[in-house]
Amino acid sequence: MARFVISRVFSIALTLAVIVTLTFFMMHSIPGGPFAQDKEVPPEVLRVLEAKYRLDEPLYVQYANYVKGLLVWDLGPSFQKIGVSVNDIIKQSMPASAKLGAVTFVFVLLIGIPAGIFSAVKRDSFPDQAIRFMATLGQTIPSFVLATLLIYIFSSRLRIFPTFGLRTWKHFVLPAIALGGYSLSFVTRLVRSSMLEAMGQDYIRTARAKGVPEFQVFFKHALRNSLIPVVTYIGPLIATVITGSFVVEKVFAIPGMGKFFVDSITNRDYTVLMGLTILDAILLCAAILIVDLIYGLIDPRIRVDK
């Protein structure tokens, strides 16, 4: 098990290094540079700006500096907001995203997993067909359509839920549905199909031939085996969901990381963009690492093989 953990940590670290490098050089090779705005910037101003942000140094020195900063979690200053660092922006925007993300995650799991199991247990019944229909529909609606539709119906017309901000529990309902709709559908379908897959295995027949009650066949023998693909999906889901959605945060005017990300695209604020991307990647990698470790707990075969 220890070897397994070490090898996973090592490969995740390697991945992160690749991501940081790739992001850095991509950002720095964008034609025009960060201060090439629509209006002409006088060359002397440009030179001062570049000196201030140390963009006049050779690229590899800048890279080394960036990595050095990264190691002590200093993501540098914002290019557009004077006197504000990327760390400040993350500190300021992370809580909103994380709160909404946590709510969404719980919502997706609490509904998706039971719905999937129920659908598999009652296979081909009317409720199963209804759940499958809803889940298919949920996967076809992009989050921006869902978000705007929800606002239009529930805020503008029916006035049940507020449109923007995250002050009361009511504020969470619509963004959580918009953010989690796709994942909810996906989790439901995944749980259903992996339950059915597990139910078709020979060891289920063995358990039944032993006289194990149906309930136990489902929740002991099938569920544990069917969790493996589900964990694969929901692990990274935590990371994606807590780092905020560009669209949902924009539409619901939630001051989270997704909104800053979109803003930094429009403003060409490269350090913010880079910082947020790297934070995203770190969280995602951490989630994948946790998933790998959970695998080891669920499936004894993995513990030994690797």
Partner 1 sequence: MTGGDRWEALPPELRLSEKIIRPSMTYLQDAWRRFRKNPTAMFGLVLVASIVLLALIGPAVSTHSYREQDLNRTNEPPGAEYIFGTDSLGRDLFVRVMTGGRISLLISFMATFISCAIGVVYGGLAGYSGGRTDNVMMRIVDIIWTIPLMLYAILLMMWLGTGLHNILIAIALVYWVNMARIVRGQVMNLKEQEFVLAALVQGASRWRILTRHLIPNSMGPILVTATMMIPGAVFTESFLSFIGLGISAPLASWGSLCSDSLGALRSYPYQLFFPAIFICAAMLGFNFVGDGLRDALDPRLRR
Partner 2 sequence: MPAMDEKNGAARPLLAVRDLCVSFFTHVGEVKAIRGISFHVDPGETVGIVGESGSGKSVTSLAVLRLLPYPGRIMSGNVTFRGEDILSKSAGNMRALRGNEISMVFQDPMTSLNPVFTIGEQIVEALAVHGGKKSPAEARTRAIEMLNLVGIPDPEARFGAYPHEFSGGMRQRAMIAMALVCGPSLLIADEPTTALDVTIQAQILELMAGLREKTGASIILITHDLAVVSEACSRIIVMYGGQIMEEAPSEELFENPLHPYTKGLMRCIPAFGGAGRERLVPIPGTPPDLLKPPAGCPFVERCREAMRICLSNRPAFYGEGRHRASCWRLDPEAPK
Select from 111-119, 208-216, 222-230, 275-283 the region that touches partner 1 (CB under 8 A). 275-283
Exactly one of 75, 207, 241, 288 binds partner 1 (CB under 8 A); that residue is 288
Please give the Cα distance from 16 to 10 (Å, whole number): 10
CA distances from 128 to 173, 189, 229 (A): 25, 11, 21
Q: According to CB under 8 A, which one of 21, 129, 168, 206 is a site residue for partner 2?
A: 206
Alpha carbons 4 and 20: distance in angstroms, whole number: 25
- Residue-level length of the chain: 306
Name the burial class of residue 139, with classes exposed (0-12), middle (13-18) and buried (19+) by CB atoms within 10 angstroms of its CB: middle
Interface with partner 2 by CB under 8 A: which range of 32-40, 66-74, 194-202, 277-285?
Answer: 194-202
Radius of gyration of the chain (CA): 24
How many amino acids of this chain bind partner 2 (CB under 8 A)?
23
Candidates 145, 160, 253, 297; binder of partner 1 (CB under 8 A) is 145
Q: Which is nearer to partner 2, 47 or 301 (CB)?
A: 301
Partner whose binding site includes residue 201, from partner 2, partner 1, none (CB under 5 to 8 Å by kind)? partner 2
Show the CA angle centred on residue 114, arms to residues 111 and 116, nearest 5°: 100
Alpha-carbon distance of 28 to 19, in angstroms, equals 14
Choose which of 186, 250, 256, 260 interacts with partner 1 (CB under 8 A): 250
Residue number, 111 or 141, with CB nearest to partner 1:
141
CA 208/CA 217 separation, integer angstroms: 7
3-state SS class at 292: helix
- Count of residues that interact with partner 1, criterion CB under 8 A: 42
- Contact of 233 with 273, CB cutoff 8 Å: no
299 binds partner 2 (CB under 8 A): yes
Residues that bind partner 1 (CB under 8 A): 11-12, 14-15, 18-19, 22-23, 26-27, 29-31, 136-137, 139-142, 144-145, 148-149, 151-152, 156, 240, 246-247, 250-251, 262, 265-266, 268, 273, 277, 280-281, 284-285, 288
Residues that bind partner 2 (CB under 8 A): 200-203, 205-214, 216, 221, 224-225, 298-301, 304
